[in-house]
Every structure is written in structure tokens, then in C-alpha cells.
Structure 1
Amino acid sequence: MAGRSGSKTMIVTNTPAKDLAYTNCAYCSPSDVRQFLLPGSNIALALVGDVFVLSIAAYDTIQSGQIGLNAIQRRHARVSTGDPVSVCRFIPPEDFNIALLTLELEFVKKGNKEEQVDAVLLAQQLRKRFVNQVLTSGQRVTFEYHGNGFIFTVTQVTVEGQDKSNNIERGMLVSDSYIVFEASNSSGIKIINQREAASSNIFRHKEFNLQSLGIGGLSAEFADIFRRAFASRVFPPHVASKLGVKHVKGMLLFGPPGTGKTLMARQIGKMLNGRDPKIVNGPEVLSKFVGETEKNVRDLFADAEQDQKTRGDQSDLHVIIFDEIDAICKSRGSTRDGTGVHDSIVNQLLTKIDGVEALNNVLLIGMTNRKDLLDEALLRPGRLEVQVEISLPDENGRLQILQIHTNKMKENSFLAPDVNLQELAARTKNYSGAELEGVVKSAVSYALNRQLSLDDLTKPVDEESIKVTMDDFVNALHEVIPSFGASMDDLERCRLNGIVDCGQRHDHIFKRTMLLTEQVKVSRGSPLVTVLLEGPSGSGKTAMAATVGIGSDFPYVKIISAESMIGLSEASKCAQIVKVFEDAYKSTLSIIVLDDIERLLEYVAIGPRFSNLISQTLMVLLKRLPPKGKNMLVIGTTSEVSFLDSVGICDAFSVTYHVPTLKTEDAKKVLQQIKVFSDDDIDAAAEALNDMPIKRLYMVVEMAAQGEYGGGAEAIYSGKETIQISHFYDCLQDIVRY
């Protein structure tokens, strides 16, 4: 922390000699200097009038108790000669060195003269002349350069390791501080070699704290973007020309919705020292008038073109951010609107980014959820060449995002001590950044709702008692479901009767299938494992597949069934199936259940008829390896294995397991677990259920439980009564076995 000590009042006097006015030092008697010396140093610093910090030098002619200030210093401190001023020793805090200093130049004597100032040489002179001096934002300093008297005003001070000082922008000038100069057009000062004055060291000292920018879990992606798109621009133009490279002029951020693409682009635009970025939503560019859309695109680049013509290499960087770029840059020839507007937009954009008169002072940032829709010419090197996937955050990334969104409530003591963000990060697999924000909002809504009374909404609210608890977050997790997560509701519906022990044969197949999930987790040689569960209708294949999906704890589990595609055309069904697989590729671990494959293929035995388009789609997807680092298990179920074998789909599965009907001993085990028969009747009922599929067993039991001879389903399932075996036989005879 900065310290003050020995505060005293001194009388203001003039600087003892004219040439000393250019040193920016304050002068006092040798006896007074000692009290301003820093411990263990010969540097003396003093805070003068609580306004600025000056280096103190000794001068024999100044009397004790006086301090010599030049005219600029007196004006800034609002004192005159003879006035008292408070002076105290200033001890600089740690990490006080200036990384970046921005100065505005003007002549001491205003006039019509003009002067070219070399920013590199001037920066060297100022660093040498004012080294170890403390400069404060707003401070004005006189200096002499090449026979001219100048004044610089400190407009920005950036201290190493932080964006700003705690309250006042202030820091110590050191030998490697970088100085950027500004001058108004009316000053008569023209600054040359400005870009050389600030090199990449600015960014080496000034850390980008992504968490403070509200970006969580994207540090690797941000480092990749910075290296490829900005590193060459940080260096002076002559360095890039000596290397013989051109700057990157475009980048594309793509990935699932809600992962932070727009946020990343917005913060990139803020962090650059160039002009404020132009943010364009794709559809806004479109116009119903012929040629108007292309003009809108040209207008976006007009400022950059003018800047490059007038300033050349000294031009500022112009950032243009295209949100939803797929709306206007679809692959040429793909739209059938008859106007060709989309094609001409792509052409216009291509010529602006990398045409004959290409601009070098533009950075185009495009964002999309559908990279596959973009014209391939846009994606080649020289155009949107830096393509960074902003994917779903990992556990550490999710923790960072949750910390960002709960930071304010933690600071203000609204977060209950039982909230464990680490546990929440572990439980929110495949949640995007936007969905995590939704979880926090939902949790807060539960906490706020506890403080409200629907009977009287005007009742005063006790702010102090608002606490967001772990239970609120757990409830929020049930409310905000991730788009790329496990479809637990769909999976649970596939096993309405729960899971019971169906005997050794079923248990063996279930354990084998669960072993495949472990193989997928750890395997490097088989990122795609496929298994087909075949057997008679109702034998429990779908329930088993759903149980494997739930028990796997994989972040992405989806079921593809014919019931979700009723009325769709073949092409639409294919697109929907492909989308589920494409979504799965965004997750590190995923399970897809292809339920009743023959129904998906629209198989009819008469004919026989089936959809070859869907069949070919499935065969391609079952053999296509997921992207690097992604592992997938596909579980198929079918009651028509001979048909699937005839069209070649069985060969696409790595493993096939036969799920059998229940034998007598298996049926007995099931009946013992559901406890609907008396001990005397179980053996007889199990014998009657030999070779029965598990689903049909449950149906017969349900029918018998409702029967008039029994005591009603409620009494039977509560254990008060049991099913009469005679009535059970009657129900069993009603069911036709095929």
C-alpha cells in the first residue's frame, strides 16, 4: 500500500532557476530533503497539496520550510507564491511501475509554428529525463526538446499487472515504460513513428484478466485468438514488413449457442486501442432494394478506407463484428430466392476483405452457430482464416462462469455459506455459459420468492434476509435443462416400471453393455463403440438401453425414436438424426440410443418396404468416427434382426446381443420382486409366464390387478391383498401369443 508520513505545511516559492522549471522537480533546503527520502534510497518523493507526487531535490538558496514550484505546478496545485501548502513524504506501493503512459503534447508558447516530433526519440528522452518520477493522470509537465518548450498532459497511466490504480491513476516512470503520444490538429505538432513508440511489451505488462471481463472458461481460446490475430499488430509496421507477413484480417468464432461467442467478440473490441468496433447483426444488412444491401456492406468499410488513404500504416485498427454471419454469407448458389442477393453480399464482402484494393487496417470478426452454412471462399486464408471453436466449458470453465455470475451476491453477503460452486460445476455437465447464467437466475428467483407474499405484494421486503442457498441451485438445475445434456425425462419414460432382476441372462447382457460404457470412457483406440440389442418385441431392450444411458453418467445421452418423427419426410428424418449426432460430437462423452431401428427405417413386411435414404444415413453415421477427443457409444434396439441383417445394418454394429424372453425361473424372480401373488401361487404363475416378454408380463399383471375377483389394484400394490391365480389365468388366456 502507498504510504504517507511526516505531513507538514510549507510555504510556496518560485523554482530557484529558470532551467530547473523543465525538470518537474520541487525544490527545498538540504535540511528538509531528508524527511522526504524513501527508506534505504536517495530518491525523495512528496505528495504536494494532495494533488500530485513530485520528486524533491535540494537547493542551497531555498530557506527551510519553503518549497519551490514552477508556474505549471503552482497552477495545477491552485497555489501562489507565499501560500501555504501541505507536503508529506510519499512511499510508493508495490507494483507501481508504469507499463503504458499516454501523453498529450502542446507548445508552451502558442503560435502558428509546426513541428514534427519523432515518437521514438522523444520517448527515449522523456524516459531518461523523468526516470523514477511519479506521474499522475491530469498532471501537466514542462520540458525542453530540440530548443522548443513543450508541455505534456498525462491522459492515461497504466500500471504493471493492473488496468488501473486503486483510485487515482498514478505510477512511477521506469526505463521500460512505453509512452504513446497524442496531439490535437490545432497544436501544430505532428507525431511520426507513433506505432514504434509502443511495442508488444505493453501487453506483456498489462495482464488481461478474463474473469474481470466476464469471460469464463475460454482462456485457451482467447490465447489462441491473441496469438494468431493480434500478435503481429502489436509490433510496429516495419517489423511486419521485414517478416514479409500480412496481418490477419478476419476471424470466425463458431460453436453451440450460449457458449460466449458474442461476449468474446465484444470484449476483444473493447480491449483494442483502435476505434470503437462496429457491431452488425447479419439480418440488418439486408435490404429490399436492389443494390442497397451491397451498399450497406461497402459503408461498413468506408471509414477504414478513408483512414488508410490519409494515414497509411499509422491508421487505427477498425474492428467490424458480424453477429450471426450465416444469415448473409450462405454458400453461394444454395439459396433459391431468384434475386441472387445473398451471392452478391458474399462477393462484396470478399472483395472488401481480400480484393484487389484490400485493406490492412480492418479486422472482421464473424460469429455463427452454423459454420457449415458459410461460403467456403470466406473461410480460406486471407479472409476469415482464424477459426476458433468456442465449445462447451469443461468443469474448471463452468466453475469460473459460476464464480463470475455469483461474484456480486457473494460480495454483498447474499450467497449462503452452504453453496458449493465446485460441486455445482461438477453437476452441470454440458451446460453452456448462457445456461449456467440461467441456473443462477433461477436460483435467485427461488431465494427472492421466499421473501414475497402473494397475499400482499406491497409488504416491505427485508433485504438482509435474502440468501441464495444450495437447495435453490439444486432446484434450478431441475428447471434449466441443458440443450446438449442427457434427456433424462425421455430415458425415464422408456422404463416406466423401473428395473427389476430379470434373471442371469438379462443381467449378463446389461453388465456387458455397461462395460462398453467404461471402454468408451478410457479407450484411445476405439472412440466409437456400437452395440445392437435384438430380441422379441417387449423383451426389455429399450428399458435396458435407457438404464445404461442413465447409469453411465455421460454428459450427453439422447434417444432417437420414431415417435418423435411422426409425419416427417424422409429428408427431414435424416436431418433430425444427423443433428443428434452432430450435437453429440460437441460433447466429450456421449450415448445415442437408436430405438426400434426398423420403425426409423419405415419397415413394412409386405413388400417389403423401407427407406433406403434413412438406412444409408444410419450406416454412414454408425461408421463415422467422432472428432478427436470425443468418444461415443451408440446403442441400437430392434425386433427385426433378420431384416436389418439383410440390408447390411447389423454389420455396422460392433457387437450384437440377444435379449431373450423370460423363462419360468426368470418370471418367478420378477414376481417375487413385485409381490402381487401369494407365496403359494408364485410357482404356478411363473410356470404360466414361461417364454413371456417382460413388457407383456407387466401388462398381464396390471390386468389381473384390476380384476373383479381381486381386491383392486390399489390394495394389491400396497400389499394388502394379492392377485387370485384363477383370475390371472383368465387374463392370460385373453392375451394372444404370437
Structure 2
Amino acid sequence: MGTRFVDNCPDKASATTNLVYVSQQDDLRNYQFVEAVGFVFSLASHPLVPIGSVALNSVQRRILRVSVKDELDLRPYRVPKDLPTVGMLYGKVTGIVDKTRPMELRAEDIILRLLKNFKGQILTANQQIAFELDTGNYKLIIEKLLIDVAGKLVGISRGILADNAAIIFTNEGGSPISIVDQKGYTSSQIFKHRTINFESLGIGGLDEQFDVIFRRAFASRVFPPSIIQRLGIKHVKGMLLYGPPGTGKTLIARQIGKMLNGKEPKVVNGPEVLNKFVGQSEENIRNLFAEAEAEYKAKGDASGLHIIIFDEIDAICKQRGSVRDGSGVHDTVVNQLLTKVDGVDALNNILLIGMTNRKDMLDEALLRPGRLEVQIEIGLPDEKGRLQVLKIHTSKMSENAFLAQDVDLVSLAERTKNFSGAELEGLIKDATAFAINRNINLDDLNAPINEENLKVTMEDFEKALQEVKPAFGTSVETLDSYLTHGIIPCGETFQYLQEMLSVMVKQVKNSDKTHLVSVILEGPVGSGKSALAAAAAKNSDFPLCKVVSSESIAGFSEQAKASQIIKVFEDAYKSPLSVIILDEIESLIEYVATGPRFSNAVLQVLLVFAKRIPPKGHKLLVIGTTSMSDVMEPMRINEVFNVSLHVPALRTEEVLKVLRHLDCFKVSDIPEAANLLVNIGATEAMLPRRHAVPIKKLLLWLDMARQGVEDGEKISLKQWEEVLRNLL
């Protein structure tokens, strides 16, 4: 064909055929299709087209990027034998011009017109085609062409339109033209994109939660309203995201809003709704729903989706009757919200997303079906999720060559157990701060910075790990305080106790049936119960290890102590694997022999939570210690623990092993040192139970005997005897 001058279509009828017209004087016997700029058109002649010209409509000129009187190179197109027939076409319908008034078009009317006018034509992905309906002229933007290969739809770049092709319209909710009565296929009009990639939205580690969110809250909205009406169901109108702070609840809610078409989400902080003036809080609730209400009255089910995000929803939706401020504002706010979401005039075009760290504080009526019925726990990410989060927050520095090659994100994901998403982001910020600080000249802050030297290294992350600690992690310092001397081999009895605790740790970690194991270590004061518990917790490598001791709740009121213990257990339920040490239970319950007296409130909390099975997906090991087993029994504390182990004081043969291990005496003096301890203690009646001594006292006395001894020297028997006689 060669080069032709571009001209307008010769008449109105030819402008909506998608044909390319040339002069009648052209010989078209060998030309059925022509190709230009990657698009293929069917060729036709027209008496009004001048020779040497090609007539195109405005849509064709736009996609070919030419204007009238421009030159356009046309090449004959030979149809390949293997050119497939289009089985399914995804496309969007818009007006010919950019500004189009809002209207509804029936899918069946468009499909019949498209198949009638364009069957047999060769279509290309991203092609635009003008067509005519009774209501005016429109264009179809071809987004995707598919064929059926062995029962699976496969995308193609070009194909022949058959008269049995399925056509699916992807008009978004924000488009002025909405397609109605599209039967048999889902519609992605509520989403801005046909595919959803949460990682690209900056959300990681929450794949399972998003699967549930999509299935429960959005799957029904993807289907055309006509199908949902025939099913006789209503869309989910509310969901609650709950979980520990920093796990990404607010981020999820905001990104869900960005994924969807429709109005910009309204983000409301719970406390902002409350107002001191009578009736104003309720008015604030009504105003949030006013826009959705007006649109639903005007458009019905064709209305766009209105999203209302309530952050810290527990601030305004507490259990009715629980707030005693005299005004009753909280109760009326809850009532107003319930009426709007699920009242007589309830709307079907809203999605209420509530977020809270305290689900237990919410009014129960708010959580029933029809209200915030989809309740998703946004917990701490697992190792795979942590890796996703780390990749998201380091993606920019990696793209810009600021992340050193030695940074091992897989290793960091493994080592950051129980880090929330926010804490992982904080870890990366801290590591980056180390790298930036290393490249700043403190003597001259105006000195130029060499960007090529700025690298965030693995060493920076190692330093950051020393500073950034997870809120729901292990308090290593607390455990170490119980292990000042480590675990000293004291003989078969203590070896057995360590092995038993190790077996229980493995049972919690590996068993599919055991979600809670509890053990109480009882024995005389100073026999090493707390050290054994701390060593078991530290060696377990569980993400969360917490110690509840009289020291940690000293000065608290009785009710505050009970609340603090409950909080420790609630925190443990947020971690997949946890250890809780209840140290000196008699002190926790404030037991005093004179009276006797104890705190029943704290006792009841221990009795309930020490045997409470953790939620699904969470496992817990509870280790209690006590020096008063005779007191624990009438209080029924022994009953709530699965296992009871006795931790004895050291007998003579065990004292010998400790002294040999510590190497603080000459080898020849060790038997005499042990005899001195037994003889002096027995004389003074200070070593009951067959001359047994608690290991804590033995270590204290040995440390006292070391005072004044030069480094490298051994304790003499004289010094040892002097200390024992002074103490015993």
C-alpha cells in the first residue's frame, strides 16, 4: 500500500465501523487487512475518499498518533495460519470525548452491537474501537484478549473476533459510564486494578489475613448487584481489625481504601467523635454517614462504596453501662452507630472498618453479624512475614545501592522473633542511622558527603538489634539476673530436673495436641528453683519469655497486681510460643503466715490463667516456683499445674561436686571444706534435712570467703572455717 495522506472518515456511518477506507480506484483484490503502528485494520473502499489518501476516524487517528494531512505508512497484512480466535475479551467502555456525562449502559446491548459490527476483524491488545448505540457514540478500550488452551485461559496479543466471544466490561466505579446487567461474570469495578498485590502496597506478612478479608468483605461486591440480589444476601458492612500495637492495623485499613474505587475513605480517630455538648457526639456519627446515605437514596445499589475507618474504636464503643461519667454519652454514641450500620434504614453502600488493641472492651452488640461481623486478628508476623516486611522497607535503599551485599535479610527475619511490623521498620531506621552517622564528619558538618560510601551493612543491623527490642519479646536481662553463676552441675537429681524441663519445652514446641504445659518447682528457699526456671526459659529459644515476680509488681494495689498478671498472660497469647515464670507464688499472692493473710484477687487470677488454654495457633509453658508447698495445697494452686517437681537442697556428695566445679579450693582441701560445712552447720542446727544446704547460700558463703583472696589464689580452709563460724 505504501505511504498515504490521512483524511477524515467520508461520512458519519463509516466512522463507527473500525474499517480503514481508501479510494475506489485502488485495487483491493490482494488487500483484505493492513497494518499500521502495530495495529491491524480491515480495508474497505469508499467513493468519497481521494486517491492517495486513507480515511480514519478520530479514535483510529489517536491510537496511530497522526492528524489529518499527516503521512501514514500502510503495509499489507498476511493473516498467519495459526492466528487464534478470541475466546474472551476484557475491555472498558468510555465516551469518544474525554468529558462524558454519567449514564448506565446495558451489557447485553453493547455486546450484541460489538459482535455484529466487528466479528471477523483482527483485534490487538490496547486497541481502541469506536462504536454506536442508540444513546450515542462510544469507544471500547481493549485491555486483554484470551483464548482457551486445555481448559485454561491464556492471554494473547492479537486474534480474530468470533461471534461467540465472551466480552467482559471492566468499568471502574469512578467511571461516568457504568455497565449494568452484566450476567455470568464477576466485575472488578470496585477495585482500581484487576490484580491485587499487597506487597506493592507496602503490606507484608499478612497473606492469610487478606485472604479472609477479601473472602468475607469483598468477594460479594465483585459480583454484579443482580446476582447478589438473586442470591438474597447482603454485603458485609463492617470489619474489625484487632491485635497488638504496631502490627499494621491502621496501614491495612488505609491501603484497603486505596485499593478500592469510590469515595476517599473517611478516617476518624475514636476520641475525636466525642464532644462535651449534648447531642453533638451523636451528630458527628450521623455526619459520617450523611454522604453515603444521600448517594444511596439517589442511586440505590449502583452507588459507590463509602469506607469509614474508625481508629481506636474502643474509645467510643465501650460496653454500654461500663462508663460512669454521668452523661451517658458513650452509650448513646454506640446506639447511634448501631442504628446507622444495621438499623431500619441501614445502608448497603458502606464498609465500616474498626481498629483496636482492646477487643475485650467493645460492646458485644457491635460484634454480632450484620455489624462488625468480620473480625480479623492482626498478630505478630511469622518468619516469612518478617522477611516480606524487611524486603518492603529496604526496597528503596536496595534499588539505590545503599544496602550492602553482606546484609542477610533471611537471617534478620529469623532473629527478629516477635517483632511487629512497626518494630522491624524501627530496626531498619536504627541501622540506617548508624550508617549515616558513620559518614558524617562531626568536626565539619558542612563537609561534602560521598554517597558511594553510604552503605547500610550487616554490622549496622547487629548494632540496631542491641537497641531495638520487641515489646512482646524476651527480657534477657531479667533471665540473666537469675543466672549470675549459670547452672552448676550438682549431681543426678538436678540433671533430672533440667532434663524434665527440657522435655516440657520440646512438648510445647513440637506437639500438635498440647497447647499448654504447666509445672511448679517446689523446694526450700535458695535451692535454685528460679535459676532452673530461668535457664529452661532461656534455652527454649521461645520468642516471648516473661517473669512475674514480687519485684515486678511491688507497690501495686491488689487490683493492679491482678491486672498486671492478666496482661502478661494476654501478651503471651499474642506470641506463637511463650514461657511465663511465676516466681515465688507465695509472694505474688501476698501470703503472710500471721493471720494468715493472702490476696484472694491475685490468687483467683493465678488459678484461672495458669490452666487457661491459649488461643488457636499459640502455645504456652508456665513455670511456677514456691518455697511453701504446704501452703499451696490448701489454696488449690498445685491442682492447676500439670506437673510438680521437688528441688532439694544440696547434700554432702552434691556439695563436693559444686566445690570441684567451682575450683575455689585446692583439690586436696575440698573434702575437708565440705566436712567443715556439715560439721559446723550440724552443730549449730542450721543445716536441717540430713545436713543439706541450699545452693544459693553455698554460693554466697563462697563469695564471701573469696574476699581478700588474691586473683588466682585458692580459698584456704582457715578462711572458709572463719566465714562459716561467723555466719552459722
Per the TM alignment, residue 454 of structure 1 is displaced from its structure 2 partner at its CA by: 2.2
Query: What letter matches 2:702 in structure 1?
Result: V
Instruction: Give the whole-Å Cα distance in 2 for the aligned partners of 1:11 and 1:277.
Output: 51
Corresponding residue number in structure 1 for 2:721: 729
What displacement does 1:106 show?
Answer: 6.2
Tell me the equivalent position of 2:697: 696
SS of aligned partner of 1:627: coil
Aligned to 2:444: 456
Which digits, 9 at most, give the CA deviation of each residue in 1:41-88, with x for residues without a partner?
x975432xxxxx643233457899754323554478775543324678
Name 1:443's counterpart in structure 2.
431
Answer yes or no: is 1:104 the counterpart of 2:94.
Answer: yes
2-structure distance, mates of 1:244, 1:673:
77
**How far apart are the structure 1 equivalents of 2:721 and 2:578?**
45
Hey, what does 2:167 align to over in structure 1? 176
**Residue of structure 1 aligned with 2:364, choices 376, 395, 400:** 376
Offset of residue 20 of structure 1: 2.8
**Partner Cα distance (1:528, 1:109) in 2:** 65
Equivalent residue for 1:628? 616
For 1:178, give the aligned amino acid.
F
1:68 aligns with 2:55: yes
Q: Tell me by how many angstroms 1:114 deviates.
A: 12
SS in 1 for 2:239: strand
Contact 2:36 2:73 in 1 (8 A): no
The amino acid that maps onto 2:460 is D
On the 8 A contact 1:104/1:182 being kept in 2, the answer is no
Cα deviations across residues 212-254 of structure 1 (Å, max 9, x unaligned)? 1111111111111111111112222221221111111111111
Query: Kindly tell me: are residues 15 and 525 of structure 1, through their superposed partners in 2, closer, same or farther at Cα, counting changes over 3 Å?
Result: closer
- 2: CA distance between counterparts of 1:56 and 1:355? 57
Assess if the C-alpha contact under 8 Å between 1:100 and 1:180 holds in 2.
no
Q: Which residue of 2 aligns with 1:514?
A: 502
> Which residue, out of 557, 569, 577, partners 1:569?
557
Is 1:394 the counterpart of 2:382 in the alignment?
yes
- List per-residue Cα deviations over 1:629-671 (Å, max 9, x = no partner): 3221111111111111121111221111111112223222222
Q: Answer whether contact 2:90 2:167 (CA < 8 A) is retained.
A: no
Shift of 1:478: 2.1
**Residues 76-475 of structure 1 aligned to structure 2 (within 5 Å):** 80-85=67-72, 101-105=91-95, 117-126=105-114, 129=117, 133-134=123-124, 142-146=130-134, 149-152=136-139, 175-180=166-171, 193=180, 199-200=186-187, 206-475=194-463
Secondary structure of 1:472's aligned partner: helix
Assess, with a 3 A threshold, how the Cα gap between structure 1 residues 12 and 597 changes in structure 2: closer, same or farther. Answer: same
Q: Which runs of 5+ in 1 are unaligned?
A: 1-5, 36-41, 48-52, 161-169
Aligned counterparts of 1:150 and 1:449: Cα–Cα separation in 2: 63
Could you tell which deviates more after superposition, 76-85 or 480-489?
A: 76-85
Question: How far, CA to CA, are the matches of 2:319 and 2:138 in structure 1?
Answer: 56
Post-superposition offset of 1:566? 1.0
CA-CA distance at 1:455 after TM superposition: 2.3
> Given that residues 390 and 413 in structure 2 are in contact (C-alpha distance below 8 angstroms), is that contact kept between their aligned partners in structure 1?
yes
- Residues 263/9 of structure 1: CA separation in 2 closer, same or farther (3 Å cut): farther
Q: Is the 8 A contact 1:195 1:314 kept in 2?
A: no
Shift in Å at residue 605 of structure 1?
Answer: 1.6
CA-to-aligned-CA distance 1:257-279 (integer Å, 9 cap, x gap): 11121111111111112211111
TM-score in terms of structure 2 length: 0.86
Does the alignment pair 1:648 with 2:636?
A: yes
Contact 2:91 2:140 in 1 (8 A): no
- How far 1:300 moved relative to its partner? 0.2
Q: How does 1:537-686 map to 2 (within 5 A)?
A: 537-686=525-674
Distance across 1 between alignment mates of 2:170 and 2:240: 33
Residue 20 of structure 1 corresponds to which residue in structure 2?
14
Report the residue type matching 2:14 in the other structure. Answer: L
Q: Secondary structure at the match of 2:201?
A: coil
Change (3 A) 1:22 1:637: same
Aligned-partner Cα distance in 2 for 1:683–1:705:
18
Give the direction of change, closer, same or farther, for the CA distance of 1:488–1:33 in structure 2 (3 Å limit): farther
1:557-599 per-residue CA deviation (whole Å, 9 max, x = no partner) reads 1111010111111111111111111111122221110001111
* Partner residue, 2:41: 56
Please tell me the residue identity of whatever aligns with 1:104: T
Query: How far 1:337 sits from its partner (Å)?
Result: 1.0
Aligned 8 A contact 2:19 2:44 in 1: no
Q: CA deviation at 1:118?
A: 2.8
Moved more, 596-605 or 461-470: 461-470
Distance in structure 2 (CA, Å) of the matches to 1:171 and 1:215? 36
Give the C-alpha shift of residue 184 in structure 1: 9.6
Alpha carbons 1:11, 1:66 under 8 Å: kept:
yes
Q: Do 1:181 and 1:194's aligned partners in 2 also have CA atoms closer than 8 Å?
A: no
Q: What displacement does 1:702 show? A: 1.7
- The letter of the residue matching 1:543 is A
Aligned to 2:474: 486
Q: Does the C-alpha gap of structure 1 residues 600 and 80 become closer, same or farther in structure 2, counting only changes over 3 Å? A: closer
- Normalising by structure 1, what TM-score? 0.85
Relative to structure 1, the CA distance from residue 69 to residue 566 in structure 2 (aligned partners, 3 Å threshold; closer, same or farther) is same
Q: Which residue type is aligned with residue 42 of structure 2?
A: A
Matches within 5 A, 1:699-710: 699-707=700-708, 710=709
Provide, for residues 265-322 of structure 1, a one-character-per-residue CA deviation record: whole Å limited to 9, x for no partner.
1111111122111111111111121111110000000001101111112111111111
Structure 1 residues 43 and 729, CA, compared in 2 at 3 Å: closer, same or farther?
farther
Partner of 2:153: none
Aligned counterpart in structure 1 of residue 484 of structure 2, from 486, 496, 508: 496
Alpha-carbon shift at residue 548 of structure 1 (Å): 0.3
Q: 5+ residue gaps in structure 2?
A: 147-156, 679-691
Write out per-residue CA displacement over residues 308-340 of structure 1, whole angstroms, 9 at most, x where no aligned residue: 111112111111111110011001011111111
User: Aligned in 2, Cα 1:727/1:360: closer, same or farther, shift over 3 Å?
Assistant: same
CA distance in 2, matches of 1:599, 1:524: 35
Identify if the C-alpha distance between structure 1 residues 241 and 117 changes in structure 2 by more than 3 Å, giving closer, same or farther.
closer
Aligned residues: 690
Q: Closer, same or farther in 2 for the Cα pair 1:387/1:599, shift >3 Å?
A: same
Structure 2 counterpart of 1:38: none
Q: Aligned partners of 1:99 and 1:696: how far apart in 2?
A: 83
User: In structure 2, what is the equivalent of residue 529 of structure 1?
Assistant: 517
Contact 2:478 2:547 in 1 (8 A): yes
Q: Secondary structure at the match of 2:331?
A: helix
| SS of residue in 2 equivalent to 1:430 | coil
CA distance in 2, matches of 1:300, 1:311: 19
Query: Matched residues in 2 for 1:610 and 1:359: separation?
Result: 55
CA contact (8 A) 1:399 1:425 kept: yes
Q: 1:370 to 1:684 in 2, by over 3 A?
A: same
Secondary structure class of the residue paired with 1:623? coil
3-state SS of paired residue (2:171) = strand
SS at match of 1:297: helix
Kept in 2: contact 1:495–1:543 (CA 8 A): yes
**What is the alpha-carbon distance in structure 2 between the residues aligned to residue 83 and residue 569 of structure 1?**
88
